[in-house]
Amino acid sequence: MSVCGGPGDAAAPRLRPRAALMARRPELLCGAAIVLGCAFLIALKVTCSRAKDVTMPAKLPVNFFSTRSPVIDLFRGQLDYADQLRQDSEIVLYFFYAPWCGQSIAAREEIEHVASRLSDQVLFVAVNCWWNQGKCRKQKHFFYFPVIHLYHQSFGPIEYKGPMSAVYIEKFVRRVMTPLLYISSRSKLLDFLSNYEPGVVGFFEFNASPQPPGYLTFFTSALHSLKKDYLGTIRFGVVTDKRVAEEISLVHSGSVYLHRHANTSLIYPKDIMNFTAENICKWALENREMLIRWLRPHGGKSLLLNNELKKGPALLIFIPYNPLAEIHPLLDEITKVALEYHKCNKSQAAEACLQHVGDSDSPAFDSSVTDAHLKFSETFPIAKYPCCNTVVLPQWHSISRTHNVCELCVNQTLGVKPNKVHVPHCNFLEIEAALDSFYLQEHTFFQVISNTIECSNFLSFYSPFSYYTACCRTVNRHFLSFISSEKTIFQTPKVAFSSHGKKDSTQFSIPHIEDRNCFIPDLNISSTNITGLSCRTNKTLNLYLLDSNLFWIYAERLGASRSTHLKEFAAIVDLKEEVHYVLDQNQSLVGPTLENFIKNFSVLYSPLTRHLVDDPSVHFQEEHVVTEVTTSTFQQTVFLSAKNVLLLYYAQWCGFCASLNHIFIQLARLLPPDSFTVARIDVTRNDLPWEFMTDRLPTILFFPHQRKGQSVKFPEDFSVNLPNLLKFILHHSSLSSSEPCTKECLHKESVLQQGHISHLEREIQKLRSEISALHQAHDQLEAQLSEARREEQRLQQQKHTLEKQHKTLQLHSEQLQATYDQKNQELLEMAEKLQELADASENLLKENALLRILVASRGGKLQSKDEIEEPLQSEQTLSEDNDISLSTATAALEEKRIDNIDTIETEHSSGNRTE
Partner 1 sequence: AAMRRFLGPLLCLLALRLPAGSGAAARGLDVASYRERVRAMFYHAYEHYLESAFPYDELRPLTCDGQDTWGSFSLTLIDALDTLLILGNVSEFQRVVSVLQEGVDFDIDVNASVFETNIRVVGGLLSAHLLSRKAGVEVEAGWPCSGPLLRMAEEAARKLLPAFQTPTGMPYGTVNLLHGVNPGETPVTCTAGIGTFIVEFATLSHLTGDPVFEDVARKALKALWKNRSDIGLVGNHIDVITAKWVAQDAGIGAGVDSYFEYLVKGAILLQDKELMSMFLEYNKAIKNYTKFDDWYLWVQMYKGTVSMPVFQSLEAYWPGLQSLIGDVDNAMRTFLNYYTVWKQFGGLPEFYNIPQGYTVDKREGYPLRPELIESAMYLYRATRDPTLLELGRDAVESIEKISKVDCGFATIKDLRDHRLDNRMESFFLAETIKYLYLLFDPDNFIHNDGSDFDVVVTPYGECVLNAGGYIFNTEAHPIDPAALHCCRKRKEEQWEVEDLMREFYSRKKSKKFTLKRAPDHGEGENVKDPEDASSEKAGEKRNSKKSSHSLLSCPSQSFNSKLAVLGQVFLDNT
Among 604, 777, 818, 904, binds partner 1 (CB under 8 A): 777
Please, which residues have CB within 8 angstroms of residue 389's CB and are 6 or more apart in sequence? Answer: 263, 264, 407, 408, 409, 431, 434, 435
Selected range binding partner 1 among 456-464, 468-476, 593-601, 682-690, rule: CB under 8 A: 682-690
Using CB under 8 A as the binding rule, whether residue 711 contacts partner 1 is answered as no
Selected range binding partner 1 among 106-114, 237-245, 359-367, 832-840, rule: CB under 8 A: 106-114
Q: Give the residue with the Cβ less far from partner 1, 778 or 846.
A: 778
Residue 522 three-state SS: coil
Residues in region 109-138 near partner 1 by CB under 8 A: 110, 130, 132
Residues in region 170-229 near partner 1 by CB under 8 A: none
Would you tell me how many other CB atoms lie within 10 Å of the CB of residue 680?
22
* Alpha-carbon gap, residue 75 to 134, rounded angstroms: 9
Binding mask 58-87 for partner 1 (x = CB under 8 A): xx----------------------------
Report the amino acid identity of residue 39: A
* Alpha-carbon gap, residue 115 to 816, rounded angstroms: 97
Taking alpha carbons only, the member of 89, 105, 506, 529 closest to residue 349 is 529
Using CB under 8 A as the binding rule, whether residue 570 contacts partner 1 is answered as no
Binding mask 638-667 for partner 1 (x = CB under 8 A): -----------x-xxxxxxxxxxxxxxxx-
Q: Give the residue with the Cβ less far from partner 1, 150 or 720.
A: 720
Spatial contact of 568 and 320, defined as CB atoms under 8 Å apart: yes
To partner 1, the closest distance from the beta carbon of 62 in angstroms equals 10
Q: Give the residue with the Cβ less far from partner 1, 29 or 658.
A: 658
Using CB under 8 A as the binding rule, whether residue 693 contacts partner 1 is answered as yes
Residues in region 523-552 near partner 1 by CB under 8 A: 549-552
Using CB under 8 A as the binding rule, whether residue 751 contacts partner 1 is answered as no
Spatial contact of 522 and 482, defined as CB atoms under 8 Å apart: no
Which residues make beta-bridge pairs with 152? 91, 155
To partner 1, the closest distance from the beta carbon of 398 in angstroms equals 19
Residue 99, preceding peptide bond in cis (omega within 30° of 0): no
To partner 1, the closest distance from the beta carbon of 910 in angstroms equals 42
DSSP letter string over 894-913? HHHHHHHHHHHHHHHHHHHH
Return the DSSP state at 735: G
To partner 1, the closest distance from the beta carbon of 779 in angstroms equals 8
Residues in region 30-49 near partner 1 by CB under 8 A: 41, 45, 48-49
441 to 391, 400, 507: CA distances (angstroms): 14, 17, 18
Spatial contact of 591 and 336, defined as CB atoms under 8 Å apart: yes
Would you tell me how many other CB atoms lie within 10 Å of the CB of residue 502?
14
Selected range binding partner 1 among 505-513, 736-744, 856-864, 900-908, rule: CB under 8 A: 736-744
Using CB under 8 A as the binding rule, whether residue 303 contacts partner 1 is answered as yes
Using CB under 8 A as the binding rule, whether residue 233 contacts partner 1 is answered as no
Among 382, 414, 730, 884, binds partner 1 (CB under 8 A): 730
Among 326, 584, 695, 744, binds partner 1 (CB under 8 A): 695
To partner 1, the closest distance from the beta carbon of 135 in angstroms equals 15
Using CB under 8 A as the binding rule, whether residue 163 contacts partner 1 is answered as yes
Largest CA-CA distance found in the chain, in angstroms, rounded: 203
Among 9, 33, 53, 640, binds partner 1 (CB under 8 A): 53
Using CB under 8 A as the binding rule, whether residue 144 contacts partner 1 is answered as yes
Residues in region 262-301 near partner 1 by CB under 8 A: 296-301
Among 210, 363, 501, 715, binds partner 1 (CB under 8 A): 715
**Backbone phi and psi for residue 92, each to the nearest 5 degrees, phi listed first:** -130, 135
Binding mask 587-626 for partner 1 (x = CB under 8 A): --------------------------x--------x-xxx
**Kind and range of the H or E run holding 37:** helix 37-50
Q: Give the residue with the Cβ less far from partner 1, 59 or 373.
A: 59
Among 509, 719, 742, 885, binds partner 1 (CB under 8 A): 719
DSSP letter string over 159-191? EE-S-SSHHHHHHHHHHHH--EEEE-SHHHHHH
Report the amino acid identity of residue 670: L
Please, which residues have CB within 8 angstroms of residue 514's CB and are 6 or more apart in sequence? Answer: 346, 383, 407, 409, 453, 455, 469, 471
